[in-house]
Chain A
Amino acid sequence: MFDAIVVGSGMSGGISAKELCERGLKVLVIERGRKLVHGESYTDMVQPWDEPNAGMVPEEDLARHYMIQKNSFISGTTKQYWVKDDENPYSYPEGKPFYWIRGYHLGGRSIMWGRQSYRLSPQDFEANAKDGHGSDWPIRYDDLAPWYSHVEKFIGVSGSQEGLPQLPDGEFLPPFGLNDAELQFKAAVEKAFPGRKVIPGRTANLSKAQPHHEELGRSSCQARSFCDRGCTYGAYHSSLSSSLPAADRTGNLTIVTDAIVHSLVHDPKSGRVTGVRVIDANTKAGKTYEAKVVFLNASTIGTAQILLNSKSDAMPRGLANSSDMVGRNLMDHLFALSVAGFMPNAPKDSYYHGRRPNGIYIPRFRNVTEPGDFLRGYGYQGGLTRLGWRTAALTSPGIGAELKERTHKLGPWLSFVSGFGEMLPNPENRVTLSKTKVDKWGIPLVEVNCSHGPNELKMAKQIIEDGKAMIQAAGGFVVNAATEPGVPGLGIHEMGTACMGKDPKNSVLNKYNKAHDVPNLFITDGAAMASSGCQNPSLTYMALSARAAHHATEFLKAGVI
Chain B
Amino acid sequence: MSFLERQLEDPVRFARLKRWFYIGLAVVVLVEIVLPRLFHADHAHFPFENFPAWGALYGFVSCVAIIVVSKLIGKWWLMRPEDHYGDPDEDRDD
Partners in one complex: no
